């Protein structure tokens, strides 16, 4: 158990003085902090100068006095570093920034600035041919960020070394300087203030996400990933995320509402239809991943053919959509199409699940993988040659007409509150409704007798049956529910993408909703959580969509990323409390802190003040 030092506004440095751990760079504390502040200020100033002489490099970094493109990222990172560093001085009003670690956020954000700036300088000199293309502004920022990192590494370390581990080497000390203790308990705030903080948190999240989707060239996206990655870790180390999640755990419904309001706002931040389409596709992918999370995360059934259920839903919706190429000449209204798709998937799920769910573990995975492929091949063969003509074989069902709900044609742009909502924006909002339904279904089923029985089956099926749980029936229920949710998403997907073809529903492919990527989204994001698969799906969709230049190496990089993740964070990005405890031995840290202390423990808790 880590020692929780109660952090109060002025004591950050005092706490650091008592830490026996030595920083990586031997510097007096005051000098180190001054150097960090000076360095990040220098990096910040540099962004207002020109970084290169020509606007051939995307983003136009030639303007003095007005940062653009990658300069903005450096600016934001440097400002963050500056704030964290100043907070370490114990300046009043900044203490709330660092309830957890004081100095590790500085190190992390300084590294982020160095990464972004360094990447930009590298990209400029590579694309334009040589270091000569760098204007002084780039050097100012670059040197500033380097100085900031050196200074930050001289700052005292936030928590003492493990007593048993002995004195680590330089690499160990570097890694240690990035760790931080957990923040103490926050002071009680009035609930309106807490809700405001949640809203602000989601607003910031939306802004970052929208910025990431709206990046227009891959250099900016790489810079965004570096800044966002380091910035996010820095904020986590500072303890802000812990504070926020404590608040969200307290106001769960408010949080859910805030998340959806933020998500609704997204299409209004995008004027480009292409980016809104990315948003809609992310939602489809994320919704299906969340459906898979019922099967994999809760019931523990490894399903490698899950994308077939999405396909069944999409094909069913396409057949009744009134497309001229559909072999059934009917045009169902949307609600009926949705029911058809969900029902078809449900039936398909039961039909596949009933025989296969008698298998356990690896065998189940292999058989579901087989059924997933069988679906695709069957759709290919129902072309009139190899079988009856139902699906037009590999041509699929094209020309699926746009939806019209209550006279609102989703295919046309609409003007909402003075902002144009494009076709993709419309579908995004429709899909969001389905995501909301799936989130609700997931949450409610997980927190019930059925959900507990699923987890029990996952943990130990023999013991679960000995406790009176009908294992087969409940596994089939999970399988069918998962299939049904995927079918829901499929009905929208068919309309968003205009056409359905068998090749969209492979086991592994380069375009995200396929079985391998779905499973990866669930595992990467965090099994058994709601936000995990959503975040995992967003990352897995966004990164390949934005970095077109590495399309050839996509699967290679994807595999490498998964391996690294399994090595360093096996519980996924968003850790279920259970998983967190399963993979990291934290002793008795699981003692829940939901029982409020009567005496309002010491804490910073100036947030929102």
Partner 1 sequence: MTTTTAPTTTTVLDASDVTMRFGGLTAVRSVDLVVNSGEIVGLIGPNGAGKTTFFNCLTGLYVPTEGKVAYKGTVLPPKPHLVTQAGIARTFQNIRLFANMTVLENVLVGRHTRTKEGLWSALLRLPGFKRAEQESRERAMELLEFTGLAAKADHLARNLPYGEQRKLEIARALASEPGLLLLDEPTAGMNPQETRAAEELIFAIRDKGIAVLVIEHDIRFIMNLCDRVAVLVQGEKIVEGPAEVVQADERVIAAYLGTPFEGAPGQEEAAEVEAAEAHSTTEGDDK
User: Does 403 participate in binding partner 1 (rule CB under 8 A)?
Assistant: no
Compose the 256-295 pattern: x for residues touching partner 1 by CB under 8 A, - for all others: ----------------------------------------
Of 92 and 449, CB closest to partner 1: 449
Q: How far is residue 596 CA from its own chain's centroid?
A: 30
User: Does 163 participate in binding partner 1 (rule CB under 8 A)?
Assistant: no
Identify which range of 149-157, 255-263, 445-453, 555-563 contacts partner 1 by CB under 8 A. Answer: 445-453
Give DSSP secondary structure letters for 45-93.
HHTTS-SBS-TTSTT----TTS--THHHHHHHHHHHHHHHHHHHTT-TT
User: Does 564 participate in binding partner 1 (rule CB under 8 A)?
Assistant: no
Residue 52 pairs in a beta bridge with 134
The answer to whether 295 touches 352, Cβ cutoff 8 Å, is no
Window 500-529: residues binding partner 1 (CB under 8 A): none
Q: How many residues bind partner 1 (CB under 8 A)?
A: 37
CB of 483: closest distance to partner 1 in angstroms? 14
CB of 588: closest distance to partner 1 in angstroms? 6
Residue 412 phi/psi, 5° resolution? -105, 150
Window 423-442: residues binding partner 1 (CB under 8 A): 440-441
CB of 244: closest distance to partner 1 in angstroms? 22
The whole-angstrom separation of Cα 267 and Cα 271 is 8
User: Does 358 participate in binding partner 1 (rule CB under 8 A)?
Assistant: no
User: Does 252 participate in binding partner 1 (rule CB under 8 A)?
Assistant: no
Identify which range of 6-14, 32-40, 91-99, 460-468 contacts partner 1 by CB under 8 A. Answer: 460-468
CB count in 10 Å sphere of residue 568: 7
CB count in 10 Å sphere of residue 585: 7
CB of 576: closest distance to partner 1 in angstroms? 9
Tokens 């990089």 locate to 557
Residue from 240, 292, 430, 469 touching partner 1 (CB under 8 A): that is 469
The whole-angstrom separation of Cα 278 and Cα 540 is 12
User: Does 471 participate in binding partner 1 (rule CB under 8 A)?
Assistant: yes
User: Does 417 participate in binding partner 1 (rule CB under 8 A)?
Assistant: no
The whole-angstrom separation of Cα 292 and Cα 539 is 17
Window 197-226: residues binding partner 1 (CB under 8 A): none
- Residues whose CB is less than 8 angstroms from the CB of residue 11 and which lie 6 or more positions away in sequence, other chains included: 90
Residue 118, both tokens: 């360094």
* 598 DSSP 8-state letter: T
User: Does 445 participate in binding partner 1 (rule CB under 8 A)?
Assistant: yes
The whole-angstrom separation of Cα 183 and Cα 189 is 16
Compose the 566-595 pattern: x for residues touching partner 1 by CB under 8 A, - for all others: ------------xx-xx----xx-xxx-x-
Nearest to 64, CA basis, from 49, 42, 45 = 49
The whole-angstrom separation of Cα 175 and Cα 180 is 11
Give DSSP secondary structure letters for 122-140.
HHHHHHHTSGGGB-HHHHH
User: Does 597 participate in binding partner 1 (rule CB under 8 A)?
Assistant: no
User: Does 449 participate in binding partner 1 (rule CB under 8 A)?
Assistant: yes
Of 304 and 481, CB closest to partner 1: 481
Tokens 């920034």 locate to 97
User: Does 448 participate in binding partner 1 (rule CB under 8 A)?
Assistant: yes
Nearest to 295, CA basis, from 513, 454, 456, 478 = 478
Of 182 and 216, CB closest to partner 1: 182
User: Does 464 participate in binding partner 1 (rule CB under 8 A)?
Assistant: yes
User: Does 456 participate in binding partner 1 (rule CB under 8 A)?
Assistant: yes
- Residues whose CB is less than 8 angstroms from the CB of residue 102 and which lie 6 or more positions away in sequence, other chains included: 7, 12, 13, 15, 16, 84, 87, 88, 158, 180, 238
CB of 256: closest distance to partner 1 in angstroms? 15
Distances (CA, A) of 458 to 261, 355, 472, 590: 34, 19, 12, 21
Residue from 126, 271, 394, 470 touching partner 1 (CB under 8 A): that is 470
Distances (CA, A) of 124 to 46, 62, 107, 223, 443: 16, 12, 25, 13, 47
Of 18 and 462, CB closest to partner 1: 462
Identify which range of 52-60, 123-131, 225-233, 470-478 contacts partner 1 by CB under 8 A. Answer: 470-478
Of 361 and 388, CB closest to partner 1: 361
Q: How far is residue 74 CA from its own chain's centroid?
A: 22
Query: Residue numbers of the site for partner 1 (CB under 8 A)?
Result: 440-441, 444-445, 447-453, 455-456, 459-460, 462-471, 477, 481, 578-579, 581-582, 587-588, 590-592, 594
């Amino acid at each position: 158990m880590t020692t929780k030092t109660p952090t109060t506004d002025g004591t950050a440095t005092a706490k650091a003085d008592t830490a026996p751990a030595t920083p990586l760079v031997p510097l007096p504390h005051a000098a180190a902090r001054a150097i960090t502040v000076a360095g990040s200020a220098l990096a910040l100033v540099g962004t207002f100068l020109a970084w290169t002489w020509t606007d051939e490099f995307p983003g136009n970094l030639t303007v003095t006095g007005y940062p653009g493109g990658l300069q903005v990222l450096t600016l934001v990172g440097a400002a963050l570093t500056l704030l964290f560093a100043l907070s370490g001085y114990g300046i009043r009003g900044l203490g709330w920034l660092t309830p957890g670690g004081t100095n590790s956020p500085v190190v992390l954000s300084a590294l982020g600035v160095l990464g972004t700036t360094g990447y930009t300088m590298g990209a400029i000199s590579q694309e334009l041919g040589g270091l000569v293309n760098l204007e002084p502004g780039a050097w100012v920022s670059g040197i500033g960020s380097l100085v900031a990192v050196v200074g930050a590494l001289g700052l005292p370390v936030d928590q003492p070394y493990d007593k048993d581990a002995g004195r680590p080497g330089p690499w160990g000390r570097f890694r240690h300087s990035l760790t931080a203790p957990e923040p103490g308990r926050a002071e009680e705030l009035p609930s309106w203030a807490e809700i405001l903080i949640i809203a602000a948190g989601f607003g910031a999240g939306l802004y970052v996400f929208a910025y990431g989707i709206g990046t227009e060239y891959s250099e900016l996206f790489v810079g965004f990933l570096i800044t966002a990655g380091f910035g996010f870790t820095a904020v986590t180390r500072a303890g802000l995320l812990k504070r926020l999640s404590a608040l969200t755990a307290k106001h769960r419904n408010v949080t859910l509402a805030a998340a959806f309001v933020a998500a609704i706002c997204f299409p209004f931040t995008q004027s480009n239809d292409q980016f809104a389409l990315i948003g809609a596709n992310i939602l489809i992918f994320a919704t299906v991943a969340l459906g898979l999370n019922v099967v994999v995360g809760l019931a523990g059934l490894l399903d490698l053919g899950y994308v077939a259920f999405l396909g069944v839903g999409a094909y069913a919706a396409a057949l009744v959509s009134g497309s001229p190429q559909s072999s059934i000449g009917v045009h169902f209204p949307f609600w009926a199409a949705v029911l058809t798709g969900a029902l078809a998937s449900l039936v398909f799920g039961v039909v596949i699940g009933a025989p296969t769910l008698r298998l356990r573990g690896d065998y189940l995975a292999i058989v579901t993988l087989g059924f997933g492929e069988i679906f695709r091949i069957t759709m290919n063969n129902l072309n009139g040659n190899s079988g009856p003509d139902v699906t037009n074989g590999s041509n699929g069902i094209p020309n699926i007409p746009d939806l019209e709900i209550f006279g609102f044609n989703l295919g046309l742009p609409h003007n909402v509150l003075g902002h144009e909502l494009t076709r993709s924006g419309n579908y995004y909002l429709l899909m969001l409704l389905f995501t909301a339904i799936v989130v609700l279904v997931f949450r409610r089923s997980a927190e019930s007798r059925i959900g507990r029985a699923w987890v029990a089956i996952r943990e130990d099926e023999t013991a679960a049956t000995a406790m009176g749980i009908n294992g087969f029936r409940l596994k089939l229920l999970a399988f069918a529910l998962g299939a049904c949710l995927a079918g829901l998403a499929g009905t929208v997907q068919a309309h968003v993408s205009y056409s359905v073809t068998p090749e969209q529903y492979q086991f592994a492919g380069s375009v995200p909703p396929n079985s391998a990527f779905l499973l990866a989204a669930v595992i990467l994001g965090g099994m058994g959580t709601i936000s995990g698969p959503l975040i995992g799906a967003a990352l897995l969709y966004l990164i390949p969509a934005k970095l077109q230049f590495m399309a050839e190496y996509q699967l290679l990089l994807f595999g490498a990323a998964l391996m690294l993740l399994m090595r360093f964070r096996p519980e996924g990005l968003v850790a279920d409390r259970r998983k967190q405890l399963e993979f990291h031995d934290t002793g008795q840290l699981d003692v829940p802190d939901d029982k409020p202390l009567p005496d309002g423990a010491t804490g910073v808790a100036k947030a929102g003040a």
